[in-house]
Amino acid sequence: MQKNEVPTLFIPGYRGNRLSFGGMIFRLDHYGLGTKAMVVRVSTKGKVKFEQRRSLKTKNPLIQVLFANNRDERLEAVQLGKVLTMLKQKYQVKQVNLVGHSSGGNIAFNYLTNTSAKKSQAPQVMKFVNIATTFPGKEKDGKKLDPQLSILNIAGNIWNFRTDGGIPLDRDMALKKIVKPYIKSYQAKIISGSPLTTYHSMLHENGEVDRAVAVFLFKNGDQVPR
Protein backbone atom coordinates (compact mmCIF):
# COMPACT_ATOMS: atom_id res chain seq x y z
CA MET A 1 0.00 0.00 0.00
CA GLN A 2 1.09 3.54 -0.66
CA LYS A 3 1.53 5.18 2.71
CA ASN A 4 1.68 8.94 2.80
CA GLU A 5 0.62 11.93 4.81
CA VAL A 6 -1.52 13.53 2.10
CA PRO A 7 -4.97 14.11 3.66
CA THR A 8 -8.09 13.21 1.70
CA LEU A 9 -11.13 15.48 2.13
CA PHE A 10 -14.61 13.99 1.61
CA ILE A 11 -17.26 16.43 0.36
CA PRO A 12 -20.94 15.42 0.50
CA GLY A 13 -23.61 16.45 -1.96
CA TYR A 14 -26.89 18.38 -1.73
CA ARG A 15 -28.16 18.35 1.87
CA GLY A 16 -25.29 16.01 2.72
CA ASN A 17 -24.42 15.28 6.34
CA ARG A 18 -22.12 13.10 8.45
CA LEU A 19 -23.84 9.96 7.14
CA SER A 20 -23.07 10.75 3.49
CA PHE A 21 -19.40 9.75 3.64
CA GLY A 22 -19.38 8.45 7.20
CA GLY A 23 -19.66 4.84 6.08
CA MET A 24 -16.89 5.01 3.50
CA ILE A 25 -14.52 6.77 5.90
CA PHE A 26 -15.29 4.16 8.58
CA ARG A 27 -14.64 1.29 6.18
CA LEU A 28 -11.37 2.71 4.84
CA ASP A 29 -10.22 3.19 8.43
CA HIS A 30 -11.50 -0.21 9.56
CA TYR A 31 -9.64 -2.07 6.83
CA GLY A 32 -6.42 -0.19 7.51
CA LEU A 33 -6.41 1.74 4.24
CA GLY A 34 -6.60 5.15 5.86
CA THR A 35 -7.00 6.86 9.21
CA LYS A 36 -10.05 8.90 10.22
CA ALA A 37 -8.18 11.95 11.42
CA MET A 38 -10.50 14.95 11.41
CA VAL A 39 -13.99 16.36 10.97
CA VAL A 40 -14.26 19.91 9.64
CA ARG A 41 -17.51 21.80 10.25
CA VAL A 42 -18.35 24.99 8.38
CA SER A 43 -21.14 27.12 9.87
CA THR A 44 -23.77 29.00 7.87
CA LYS A 45 -21.66 32.14 8.38
CA GLY A 46 -18.54 30.36 7.12
CA LYS A 47 -16.83 29.82 10.47
CA VAL A 48 -14.56 26.79 10.27
CA LYS A 49 -14.18 24.38 13.20
CA PHE A 50 -11.58 21.59 13.15
CA GLU A 51 -12.34 18.53 15.27
CA GLN A 52 -9.09 16.58 15.26
CA ARG A 53 -9.33 12.88 16.10
CA ARG A 54 -5.85 11.74 15.05
CA SER A 55 -2.66 13.40 13.87
CA LEU A 56 -2.50 14.41 10.22
CA LYS A 57 1.02 12.96 10.26
CA THR A 58 -0.43 9.48 10.02
CA LYS A 59 -1.19 6.88 7.37
CA ASN A 60 -3.46 8.32 4.67
CA PRO A 61 -5.42 10.74 6.91
CA LEU A 62 -9.13 11.04 6.11
CA ILE A 63 -11.02 14.30 6.70
CA GLN A 64 -14.81 14.63 6.62
CA VAL A 65 -16.06 18.10 5.59
CA LEU A 66 -19.55 19.12 6.71
CA PHE A 67 -21.28 22.32 5.56
CA ALA A 68 -24.15 23.77 7.60
CA ASN A 69 -25.34 25.54 4.43
CA ASN A 70 -25.40 22.38 2.34
CA ARG A 71 -27.60 23.50 -0.57
CA ASP A 72 -25.44 26.10 -2.30
CA GLU A 73 -22.65 24.61 -4.43
CA ARG A 74 -20.90 27.87 -5.27
CA LEU A 75 -20.91 29.10 -1.69
CA GLU A 76 -19.62 25.74 -0.51
CA ALA A 77 -16.84 25.90 -3.12
CA VAL A 78 -15.72 29.23 -1.64
CA GLN A 79 -15.95 27.77 1.86
CA LEU A 80 -13.93 24.73 0.72
CA GLY A 81 -11.22 27.13 -0.36
CA LYS A 82 -11.23 28.64 3.12
CA VAL A 83 -10.97 25.18 4.70
CA LEU A 84 -8.00 24.32 2.51
CA THR A 85 -6.23 27.60 3.22
CA MET A 86 -6.67 27.08 6.95
CA LEU A 87 -5.36 23.51 6.69
CA LYS A 88 -2.17 24.89 5.19
CA GLN A 89 -1.85 27.72 7.68
CA LYS A 90 -2.83 25.81 10.82
CA TYR A 91 -1.51 22.32 10.08
CA GLN A 92 1.15 22.96 7.40
CA VAL A 93 -0.66 20.68 4.93
CA LYS A 94 0.98 21.06 1.52
CA GLN A 95 -0.99 18.57 -0.59
CA VAL A 96 -4.50 17.09 -0.43
CA ASN A 97 -6.88 14.81 -2.30
CA LEU A 98 -10.60 15.54 -2.78
CA VAL A 99 -13.50 13.07 -2.98
CA GLY A 100 -16.95 14.41 -3.86
CA HIS A 101 -20.31 12.69 -4.27
CA SER A 102 -23.09 14.18 -6.39
CA SER A 103 -23.03 17.97 -6.01
CA GLY A 104 -20.00 17.47 -3.77
CA GLY A 105 -18.18 16.75 -7.02
CA ASN A 106 -19.39 20.04 -8.41
CA ILE A 107 -18.24 21.83 -5.26
CA ALA A 108 -14.74 20.41 -5.72
CA PHE A 109 -14.76 21.12 -9.47
CA ASN A 110 -15.95 24.70 -8.91
CA TYR A 111 -13.07 25.24 -6.49
CA LEU A 112 -10.53 23.63 -8.83
CA THR A 113 -11.59 25.80 -11.79
CA ASN A 114 -12.07 29.05 -9.85
CA THR A 115 -9.23 31.25 -11.04
CA SER A 116 -9.99 33.85 -8.37
CA ALA A 117 -9.34 31.36 -5.55
CA LYS A 118 -6.00 32.01 -3.87
CA LYS A 119 -4.69 28.50 -4.47
CA SER A 120 -1.10 29.49 -3.70
CA GLN A 121 -2.23 29.93 -0.10
CA ALA A 122 -3.87 26.49 -0.05
CA PRO A 123 -2.53 22.94 -0.38
CA GLN A 124 -2.08 21.63 -3.91
CA VAL A 125 -4.85 19.22 -4.91
CA MET A 126 -3.14 16.12 -6.28
CA LYS A 127 -6.07 13.74 -6.84
CA PHE A 128 -9.81 14.24 -7.27
CA VAL A 129 -12.41 11.47 -7.13
CA ASN A 130 -15.81 12.36 -8.54
CA ILE A 131 -18.74 10.07 -7.74
CA ALA A 132 -22.02 10.48 -9.66
CA THR A 133 -22.04 14.09 -10.78
CA THR A 134 -23.30 16.00 -13.80
CA PHE A 135 -20.83 18.40 -15.37
CA PRO A 136 -22.46 21.33 -17.20
CA GLY A 137 -19.04 23.00 -17.54
CA LYS A 138 -17.50 23.82 -20.88
CA GLU A 139 -14.29 22.45 -22.36
CA LYS A 140 -12.52 25.73 -21.64
CA ASP A 141 -12.96 25.08 -17.91
CA GLY A 142 -10.41 22.29 -18.15
CA LYS A 143 -7.70 24.82 -19.00
CA LYS A 144 -8.06 26.23 -15.49
CA LEU A 145 -7.05 22.94 -13.84
CA ASP A 146 -3.64 22.14 -12.38
CA PRO A 147 -1.72 20.08 -14.97
CA GLN A 148 -0.45 17.89 -12.11
CA LEU A 149 -4.01 16.85 -11.16
CA SER A 150 -5.20 13.25 -11.52
CA ILE A 151 -8.93 12.46 -11.71
CA LEU A 152 -10.99 9.31 -11.15
CA ASN A 153 -14.60 9.61 -12.33
CA ILE A 154 -17.06 7.01 -10.96
CA ALA A 155 -20.60 6.56 -12.30
CA GLY A 156 -23.47 4.16 -11.66
CA ASN A 157 -25.26 2.08 -14.28
CA ILE A 158 -28.40 0.36 -13.00
CA TRP A 159 -29.16 -2.80 -15.00
CA ASN A 160 -27.46 -1.28 -18.08
CA PHE A 161 -30.08 1.47 -18.32
CA ARG A 162 -27.18 3.98 -18.45
CA THR A 163 -28.27 5.86 -15.36
CA ASP A 164 -27.85 5.60 -11.61
CA GLY A 165 -31.48 6.62 -11.20
CA GLY A 166 -30.52 10.26 -10.75
CA ILE A 167 -27.63 11.02 -13.09
CA PRO A 168 -27.56 9.82 -16.72
CA LEU A 169 -24.32 8.02 -17.49
CA ASP A 170 -23.46 10.22 -20.47
CA ARG A 171 -23.75 13.39 -18.40
CA ASP A 172 -21.34 12.03 -15.81
CA MET A 173 -18.91 10.80 -18.46
CA ALA A 174 -18.93 14.27 -20.08
CA LEU A 175 -16.19 15.15 -17.60
CA LYS A 176 -13.61 13.36 -19.77
CA LYS A 177 -13.97 15.78 -22.66
CA ILE A 178 -13.69 18.76 -20.32
CA VAL A 179 -10.58 17.73 -18.39
CA LYS A 180 -8.50 15.03 -20.08
CA PRO A 181 -6.38 17.26 -22.37
CA TYR A 182 -5.31 19.47 -19.47
CA ILE A 183 -4.45 17.22 -16.52
CA LYS A 184 -1.89 14.59 -15.58
CA SER A 185 -4.27 11.63 -15.84
CA TYR A 186 -7.95 10.79 -16.19
CA GLN A 187 -9.69 7.49 -15.66
CA ALA A 188 -13.30 6.43 -15.36
CA LYS A 189 -15.02 3.51 -13.68
CA ILE A 190 -18.63 2.49 -14.29
CA ILE A 191 -20.28 0.57 -11.46
CA SER A 192 -22.99 -1.77 -12.74
CA GLY A 193 -25.62 -3.51 -10.63
CA SER A 194 -29.07 -3.35 -9.13
CA PRO A 195 -30.73 -0.30 -7.54
CA LEU A 196 -29.81 -1.73 -4.12
CA THR A 197 -26.10 -1.13 -4.75
CA THR A 198 -25.91 1.22 -7.72
CA TYR A 199 -28.63 3.80 -7.11
CA HIS A 200 -27.31 7.37 -6.95
CA SER A 201 -27.42 7.74 -3.17
CA MET A 202 -26.10 4.21 -2.61
CA LEU A 203 -22.86 4.51 -4.58
CA HIS A 204 -20.87 5.77 -1.60
CA GLU A 205 -21.97 2.61 0.25
CA ASN A 206 -20.84 0.29 -2.55
CA GLY A 207 -17.82 -1.94 -1.84
CA GLU A 208 -16.69 -1.73 -5.46
CA VAL A 209 -16.58 2.06 -5.12
CA ASP A 210 -14.58 1.72 -1.88
CA ARG A 211 -12.03 -0.42 -3.71
CA ALA A 212 -11.79 1.92 -6.67
CA VAL A 213 -11.22 4.91 -4.36
CA ALA A 214 -8.62 3.02 -2.31
CA VAL A 215 -6.70 1.85 -5.38
CA PHE A 216 -6.69 5.32 -6.93
CA LEU A 217 -5.69 7.15 -3.76
CA PHE A 218 -3.60 4.59 -1.90
CA LYS A 219 -2.63 2.02 -4.57
CA ASN A 220 -4.43 -0.77 -2.70
CA GLY A 221 -8.01 -1.89 -2.22
CA ASP A 222 -7.42 -5.59 -1.56
CA GLN A 223 -8.58 -5.40 2.06
CA VAL A 224 -12.07 -4.28 1.05
CA PRO A 225 -14.42 -7.30 1.02
CA ARG A 226 -16.00 -8.26 -2.30
pLDDT in tens, 77-122: 999 999 999 999 999 999 999 999 999 999 999 999 998 878 889 9
Question: For the chain, which residues make up each domain, given as ranges?
Answer: 8-218
Strands in 95-101's sheet, in edge-to-edge order, are: 48-52, 35-42, 61-67, 8-11, 95-101, 124-131, 150-158, 185-193
Q: How many CB atoms lie under 10 A from the CB of residue 167?
A: 20
The end-to-end CA distance of the chain, in Å, is 18
The whole-model pTM stands at: 0.95
Q: Is 177 exposed, middle or buried (0-12, 13-18, 19+ CB in 10 A)?
A: middle
- CATH number assigned to the domain covering 8-218: 3.40.50.1820
**How does the average pLDDT of the chain come out, rounded?**
93
How many percent of the chain have pLDDT more than 90?
Answer: 88
Query: How would you classify the pairing of strands 48-52 and 35-42?
Result: antiparallel
Whether the predicted pLDDT of 186 surpasses 80: yes
Beta carbons of 44 and 68 less than 8 angstroms apart = yes
Q: What is the pLDDT of residue 1?
A: 45
Q: Is 67 exposed, middle or buried (0-12, 13-18, 19+ CB in 10 A)?
A: buried
